[in-house]
Amino acid sequence: KAGVTQTPRYLIKTRGQQVTLSCSPISGHRSVSWYQQTPGQGLQFLFEYFSETQRNKGNFPGRFSGRQFSNSRSEMNVSTLELGDSALYLCASSLDGANNQPQHFGDGTRLSIL
């Protein structure tokens, strides 16, 4: 069974641009969560989607948005990029987001802002 797939693996952008990251969950998984990982702030929760609906959101500005499609694939968008958005963005999936389920992570997209 294929794991969580994130594309692209690496991305370089400049300030002010926008970016879209993609995540394909494990087959059959309907809950997708996004995290930002930086050396200074560690792992921080961005948002979680289930059945195309955002169920939970972390403390990030409105420049960070996401969506989920009917096949459970998810995209994350960051607009008006800032230098501080440089990070590893991780996507994780689980069957239905139940609290006793572990999340399964992709290898991430490393975003660098110049």
Contact set with another protein (CB under 8 A)? 4, 6, 31, 33, 42-43, 45, 48, 50, 55-56, 58, 90, 92, 97-100, 102-108
* Structure token pair of residue 32: 């997708």
CB of 94 to another protein, least distance (A): 10
Kindly tell me which of 78 and 94 has the beta carbon lying closer to another protein.
94
Q: Looking at beta carbons only, is 14 or 43 nearer to another protein?
A: 43
CB neighbours of 22 closer than 8 A, spacing ≥ 6?
6, 7, 73, 74, 75
